[in-house]
Structures are given as C-alpha cells and as structure tokens.
A and B are shown apart, each in its own frame.
Chain A
Amino acid sequence: MDVNTGDTAWLLISAALVMLMTPALGFFYGGLVGKKNVLSTLTHSFFILCLISVQWVLWGYSLAFSPDTGAGLIGGLGWIALKGVGFAPNPDYAATVPHQAFMAFQMMFAVITPALITGAFAERVSFKAYVIFALLWSTLVYDPIAHWVWGTGGWLHALGALDFAGGTVVHISSGVSALVAAILIGRRLKTSEPHDATMTILGASLLWFGWFGFNAGSALTAGGLATSAFVVTNTAAAMAGLTWLTVSWIHRGRPSVLGMAAGAVAGLVAITPASGFVDVSGSIIIGLGAGVLCYLGMQLRPRLKVDDALDVWAVHGIGGTWGAIATGLFATVAINSAGADGLFFGNPRQLLTQAIAVGATWLYAAVVTVVIVKVIDVTIGMRVREHEESLGLDASQHGEIAYQLD
C-alpha cells in the first residue's frame, strides 16, 4: 500500500490544528473563570496535552485501536509503546497515510477530550486529584469508547453507528462525565463572573480554527469529503452562533457576545459526528438545533443546582447528543458512500442505531466516572480545602498568579 503525500500532509497539518484546540480550550475556559483561578484553568488544558501525549503512545492508542480482544469492547496490548505502529499505512484505518500519522491525529482527540471535562469542576479541584482523574478517565472511559466506535471490531462500529469525528467518543463522553463530576464534587463556595471575555472570544476563535482539522481531517484524505466536512463545519458553527445570540436576545433583551461564542462552539460540537455525512442544508438545521437546545440546557443549570461551572454538559453533552441523533436524521450517502442514509433519506433504522450509540456512551461514561471520582475522593480527596479555594487555585495549587497589576 503506497503512502499518498498529499493525504499525509493534510493529516499531519490536521493533527497540528487539533493540537492547538487544547490550549485554545484553556483560553476559552480561562476567560470564564475568576481572576484568581486563571492559571490553574489554563494548566488543566496544557497539562493534559503533556500527560495524554505520553499515555497515548505508551498504551492509549493500543487499547483504542489495536485489534479487538474478542468482545468488541477494547483493543489489546499488542501496540503498546507503538510496537508495530510504523510508517506503512494500516488499511483498516487510513490506507494512504503512514500508520503513525493516523496515530498522531488520533492522539490529539484523546488529548482534548478529558480537557473538556475540566470546565465542570473548575475553581475547586485539587491539582493532584485532577492528575489521577485525567489518567484514569482517559484509560478507562476514552480508550474503550474510542474502540467501540472507531476500532476495528468495536461493537458500535460493527452495529453501523456513524460518528465521523467524535460526537459520541469525544463530546458525549466528556459532557456526561462533566455532569457526573460536577454533581459528585459539589458546588463552589462562591461562583465567579467571567474575568476576561476577550480571552474567551479568542479561545472560541482558535477552537473554530482547529476544528477544521478535527472534522475535515477526519476524512483522512485530502479531497472532496474533507472539503464537504470543512464547509458543513463552518456553516453549522456560524448558524449556531447566530442562533444562540438571537435566542439570548429574545430571552434576556440583549444579544450576548459570550453567548455567540458559546453557540459557535455548540455548533461545532453538534456537527462533529455528522460532518462527513450531511449536506449544507443539514448542517444549517444542526447548527440551529445546537443553538436552541444547548442554550436551553444551560438554563437548566441554576434550576438543577448543579455547579457545572463552565457548562460543559450543556454544550458538549447536549450538543454531542443532538449531533449524534441528527446524524441519524440527515446523513446521506450522496455525501459519503461509506456512510448510510438517515431518516430523512428513507432509512429510519439509522436513527435507532444512533440512539443505541448515544445511550451506551451516556451510560458507560456516567457509571465509570462515578467510580473514578468516588475512588479518588475517598483516597486523596477531589477538592481543595476551603481556605485554598478562597485563596484561589493559582496561588494555592501552583504558587503563581496570572496577573501582576500593580
């Protein structure tokens, strides 16, 4: 099998684009927290870039993508430390690029997914607990779900579930886990207002930029499918940003700037699973749905009294679920012959398959996250002490502060 240089260049560039998304997420979240927790919030993202980059090459990639161990639930250990993952293409995953390029691309997905969760427990979790949580969660939640959906022999893959770039694997898994973690860890002593909206807008813009690698890169080739994914990704993000802004205008009387940024991210989340299967009209409807549903989800937070500090569940849990279901509605083989038609194109069965994938991901992510958080809580404790939380995590956990204003 020959390596195609164009495809390889596109995939490596896409991997770099997705890499940028994790520090971008740090800026997105960093602007939303109070000014004594900025560095710790940025660190959550930057640290995980380092941590999972090592975990992935040592054992994460093997668990997620090496040949199935028999039940469709997890890969084996045959590829630990990248043994057998070389420069020849692996036709099971990407027939025209070096296997290691595919591995590197997937690594960046594994990096950003646990980073998404950190918005739920911002401003109150100890760094030590966070380190253990991230490592356990990536190994016990992300790697198995990635195998189910994308791994050769994975059970959801075999069932025919469509997830082009990670609606279930990345967004539902992190969004649901965020909700569970926020419930178990409890509320902050005191909530804070966004300390720097410009930082959040910058983060959202960089996320949008990186998302072209996330979705269009998932075509794994540089051609028509990547182009289609690029166009629908941009369209859905734009439509969701416009929708969120408008809904907030109707609801609150003024168009919210931070809302528009959150809406664009919600649109990017929702189009992710569908980006290789839907046309541009489908992407507009998906963006519209994301803007409305995620906004409504965010309104539930104060009513449920769950302190999901930066609305990870509303944006990623609801957005990812809507996107996965919408894939079952709007997918068409006219866009991707390797996909399937959805309900609107005469195939109601695909909607059922998507619902099964959504339900399984919700259930598994929730249950395993409960176990992980509980185990950490009774051993080293998830939260910082009260005086440390009052002081702020930048000073209490890292001995540094973000701004010297005097």
Chain B
Amino acid sequence: MDVIAFGAFALLVAAWVLLPLRAPAIEHAAQLDEAA
C-alpha cells in the first residue's frame, strides 16, 4: 500500500509538470483584455 501511495503522488506531480495549460476560453480572454 505504501508503494501505491507514493506512486499515486508521484504521478500527480509528474502530471503538473507535463500538462500544458490550454489557452483561456475566448470570452474569458476578452474579459481579461477589458480588465487590462
């Protein structure tokens, strides 16, 4: 069980490093522009 627990946490950390952040939705980007 300890191995599964360590493995699960390691997978999450790997995902955060590897996952791209998709560009914000168009309407959200427009709001950000407006705010700026």
Contacts and interface: CB of A to CB of B under 8 A. Distances in A.
Chain B associates with chain A: yes
A254 B9 CA distance: 19
Interface in A257-302: 279-282, 284-285, 288
A284 B5 contact: yes
Contact of A242 (B12, B19, B20): B12
B22 A282 contact: no
A243 B22 CA distance: 18
A331 B8 CA distance: 19
Interface string A238-262: 0100110010011011100000000
A285 B15 contact: no
Contacts of B21: 253-254
Tier of interface size on chain B: 10 to 19
A284 B15 contact: no
Interface in B1-36: 1-2, 4-5, 8-9, 12, 15-16, 19-22, 24
A254 B28 CA distance: 13
B22 A246 contact: no
A344 interface: yes
Given A253-B21, A281-B2, A282-B1, A246 B16 contact: yes
Given A284-B8, A284-B9, A285-B8, A250 B2 contact: no
Interface in A215-253: 239, 242-243, 246, 249-250, 252-253
A242 B9 CA distance: 9
B1 A281 contact: yes
Contacts of B16: 246, 249
A280 to B, nearest CB: 8
A330 interface: yes
A243 B5 CA distance: 12
Contact of B4 (A250, A254, A281): A281
A250 B22 contact: no
Nearest to A330: B1
Contact of B12 (A246, A253, A279, A280): A246
A281 B7 CA distance: 11
B22 to A, nearest CB: 3
Nearest to A282: B1
Nearest to B15: A246
A286 to B, nearest CB: 10
B15 A249 contact: yes
Contact of B15 (A250, A330, A344): A250
B15 to A, nearest CB: 5
Contacts of A254: 21-22, 24
Interface in A118-157: none
A46 to B, nearest CB: 34
B23 to A, nearest CB: 8
A34 B8 CA distance: 36
Ordered nearest first, which 5 A-B pairs have the shortest CB separation? Answer: A253-B22, A284-B5, A281-B5, A281-B1, A288-B8
Given A242-B12, A281-B1, 18 more contacts: A239-B8, A246-B12, A246-B15, A246-B19, A249-B15, A249-B19, A253-B20, A253-B21, A254-B21, A281-B2, A281-B5, A284-B4, A284-B8, A284-B9, A285-B5, A285-B8, A330-B1, A344-B1
Interface of B: 1-2, 4-5, 8-9, 12, 15-16, 19-22, 24
